[in-house]
Amino acid sequence: MKKLWDRKTGTKTNQTVENYTVGVDYLLDLELLPYDIKGTMAHAKMLHKIKILDKKELSILITGLNKILSLWKNGKFKIDKSQEDGHTAIEAYLTENCGEVGKKVHTGRSRNDQSLTMTRLFSKEKLGKIKKETENLAKSLEQQIKKQGKIKMPGYTHMQRAMPSSVGMWLGSYCDSLKDDLICLDAVMKIIDQNPLGSAAGYGENTLGLNRGFTAKELGFGKVQANPMYCAFSRGKFENLILQASSIMPQKKNYDVLELIRGNIAVFNGYQNQIENIVKNLPAGYNRDFQLTKEPYMKGIKLALDTLEVMILVIKNLETKKTNLENACSSELYATDEALKLVRTGKNFREAYQEVKEKFYQN
């Protein structure tokens, strides 16, 4: 089947160029398909509401879309490379299996509009999951703090033992950081919870009277994203916001999986960096570059979720070596405490500290 949006039928694009432009969209879109179908169903229902589709046409479309979803669940729906992406695959299926009405489902909706809606639905679900896993990780930390938190360990400055600390203080510092991250995740969720469907080709629509409030409600969005130009350029912005808010917790230890987590922070930042720089300084309106954020965005999301899951496992199975840690708490860690005791007797701090330090260095 030919690509639906080709301007001139019959032009055989050079294979090299075709491969370059298609990229891996046809693979990535397979994961996004259920979100596309959900968005398409809402659009079809709305077209019925504003009397572009009659009741029977709507019913045929919904049946067709459900059929695609069920094929997909069984691993039987494929996106052919020549179709380039999931949108074409869906429309092709509907056109071939539902007759004339398959051609109607794009009324008042551009491919870009469709794509925005699909990724927005994907984003909301994944961000919700990231939030939940972040809460789980914080919980795992709290459980470990309860269990092993009181074990003493040295606190380091400049990679040298400096002050008395504890397992609880160490784990707690990450736990508190995660709780602050949750405030960010909530703010970002609030921001992205806007319906982009109905932005049409990026400049809205004035003829049919699309009911954007209806699809917002149907898809569970908090509100309509009213400005159609903002719908378009918010895609990269929101993807960036989500990756920023879900940037992963730094970690360092001599254990394979933790070295990979450490390295993956750089990988994750690279994805974010790609998105940031793809969408920066583009001319206003739609540009094909936007398509390129899909891969780093989806990979970033997956990496964030995988890392959270692995970290939860690591924390749950964390066993600190109590004896080693406590033996490491040598007496010089308590120099400041000693000095402060002298302060209580009236000495000024600078002199008390000097006095204690000399004592420690003599020993």
- Residues with active-site annotation: 158, 246
Among 66, 70, 97, 277, binds a second copy (CB under 8 A): 277
Give the residue among 110, 85, 105, 80 at the shortest CA–CA distance from 94. 105
How far apart are CB 296 and a second copy at their closest, in Å?
7
Interface residues for a second copy in 135-174 (CB under 8 A)?
A: 155-160, 162-165, 169-170, 172-174
Angstrom distance (rounded) from CA 58 to CA 73: 23
Give residues with Cβ within 8 angstroms of 108, minimum separation 6.
Answer: 47, 52, 198, 200, 205, 208, 210
**Taking CB under 8 A as the rule, does residue 305 contact a second copy?**
no
Pairing of strands 160-166, 152-157: antiparallel
Interface residues for a second copy in 24-83 (CB under 8 A)?
A: 52
Among 66, 82, 285, 360, binds a second copy (CB under 8 A): 285
Which 3 state secondary structure label does DSSP give 100?
helix
Among 270, 328, 355, 360, binds a second copy (CB under 8 A): 270
* Residue at token pair 């080693």: 324
DSSP string, 183-194: HHHHHHHHHH-E
Element (H, E) at 157: strand 152-157
**Taking CB under 8 A as the rule, does residue 319 contact a second copy?**
no
**Taking CB under 8 A as the rule, does residue 195 contact a second copy?**
no
Give residues with Cβ within 8 angstroms of 234, minimum separation 6.
Answer: 194, 196, 225
Closer CB to a second copy, 71 or 276, in the complex: 276
Give the residue among 122, 134, 98 at the shortest CA–CA distance from 315. 134
Closer CB to a second copy, 71 or 203, in the complex: 203
Q: x-or-dash pattern for a second copy, window 212-231, by CB under 8 A?
A: -------------xxxxxx-
Span near a second copy by CB under 8 A; candidates 17-25, 33-41, 77-85, 215-223? 17-25
Among 257, 318, 320, 322, binds a second copy (CB under 8 A): 257
Closer CB to a second copy, 71 or 204, in the complex: 204
How far apart are CB 322 and a second copy at their closest, in Å?
19
Angstrom distance (rounded) from CA 235 to CA 166: 44
